[in-house]
Amino acid sequence: MEYISTRGEDDNINFESALLNGLARDGGLYLPKEWPKLSFSEISDMQGLAYFEIAALIISKFTGDDLNTDEVTQLTKKSYENFTHPEVAPLTPLENGLFALELFHGPTIAFKDYAMQFLARAFQKALLKIGKHSVILGATSGDTGSAALQAFQNQDSIDIFILFPSGKVSPIQERQMTSLAGAGAHAICVAGDFDTCQDIVKACFNDHKFRDSTNLSAINSINWARLVPQIVYYFTSALELGAPHQKVAFSVPTGNFGNIFAGWAANQMGLPVEKLIIASNRNDILTRFFEDGRMRREKVEQSLSPSMDIQVSSNFERLLFELLDRDAHLCAGKMEAFASEGMFDVSVEQLKKLKEMFAAYRVSDEQTTYSIKSLFDDYGVIFDPHSAVGLHAARAARKDKIIAESIPVISLACAHPAKFPDAVEKAIGIRPQLPQQLSDLMNRQETKINIDGTTKATKELIIKNKRL
């Protein structure tokens, strides 16, 4: 298994190098040189297996000689043994062939746990093999940060620094990051929005002298190894509804495009996906793109679903690379135009091709609130606002007949409602409670560092605080 960059100058590396590098040295994102395929019978044979067993079969397709299936199985078994639901990622039936995929049963009650718990163990194993120490730098719009800090704290070979935008994550999300006191784990409050944090991360990686001197690595979804474990729950949920004999569709609350790209990757591997529904909030850069074929960066606006308050969907570069028939020169040119001018476009024919698999919807705060209320009134189920955005888009797609009645639709529920209690209480008049293991969260002692939203301030902080 070899990996190539979307910008064409950092190619033919193995899985562990892609894992530890995070971002390619040419500024691009890694993808498999060839997509691994699963046959109809291989997918069918997954029926009845435990979640960690399916995870091992899928992830090992991407690890090549670096980790064999038995080694991956050891990692996945450890990764999911502390999840609170026996099925790890259970499905809840709603109406008219619509299902909710619950992705909030991990230690930080958000979907990022499904990848981060595996990633931390894979990192540790790879670093111990080569006898190196690594500095991990990441940006979060809410859930990545707590999942990463929880998973990577107290590891001798890793220091982790997570940047989050001041005042733009929920109080629960912030406290989940700032209350972690494990060695080597740093929650950094940045003056600016999520795109500011993400730009700082990319700038640090593109400074090769700094990158090499600190042995910098990434755990955001720009890291290919972060996306791979997310492919798993597309398979497990589809299998439960009859795949590979039955096609399925997915509705995905979407900001940085990583989670939904994992669904696209599942389809490339052989999972029969009928449609992927992009569910955006008022920060609708992706919805606008699917309307006119033009990606335009605008100002980030705060919404009830703050983890999706993004105007730069970094993982879209991977889909763009595929759309351009893997022409790295063309892809690099469009990404450079986006960086300098805040815009790029694709042809009418290319947009039409994308629409064969994708449909995009924007969801207002009012529609989000209505979806939370209607779901609770009809089924007694409580969704967080991000999951409600996905639910509204799923229902809209069904109403618009974009998806046939015979195709079940799986709507991803990406966070526990207690992470966003104000939005939920506004909708249904009930304040959701944190799970027992986090019941004392808001009383825990905080440790956070405030910095200016600059690359210089971030570099100085890392150099001052890294242990080796």
**DSSP string of 239-252?**
HHTTTTTS-EEEEE
Phi, psi of 360 (to 5 degrees): -125, 140
Query: Is the Cβ–Cβ distance between 279 and 252 less than 8 Å?
Result: yes
Residue type, 267: N
Nearest to 361 by CA among 398, 319, 413: 398
Query: Is the Cβ–Cβ distance between 286 and 340 less than 8 Å?
Result: no
Q: Give 104's contacts (C-beta < 8 A, 6+ positions apart).
A: 110, 111, 384, 413, 414, 415, 416
The residue written with tokens 């067993």 in the block is 53
Could you give the residue ranges of the DSSP H alpha helices within 324-384? 328-341, 348-355, 365-379
Question: By CB neighbour count within 10 A (0-12 exposed, 13-18 middle, 19+ buried), where does 56 fall?
Answer: buried
Query: Is the Cβ–Cβ distance between 397 and 94 less than 8 Å?
Result: no
Between CA 372 and CA 379, with CA 373 as vertex, the angle to 5 degrees is 90
Q: Which helix (H) or strand (E) holds 403?
A: none
Between CA 117 and CA 412, with CA 275 as vertex, the angle to 5 degrees is 35
Query: Is the Cβ–Cβ distance between 82 and 69 less than 8 Å?
Result: no
User: What are the start-end ranges of the E strands in 259-363?
Assistant: 273-280, 294-296, 343-345, 358-362
- Catalytic site includes residue 464: no
CA 409 to chain centre: 20
Residue type, 107: P
Catalytic residue among 33, 61, 112, 401: 112
* Rounded CA separation 211/222 (Å): 16
Query: Is the Cβ–Cβ distance between 204 and 459 less than 8 Å?
Result: yes
DSSP state of 446: P
Query: Is the Cβ–Cβ distance between 316 and 31 less than 8 Å?
Result: no
Between CA 150 and CA 158, with CA 156 as vertex, the angle to 5 degrees is 60
Q: Which two tokens stand for residue 325?
A: 């028939």
Which active-site residues does the annotation give? 112
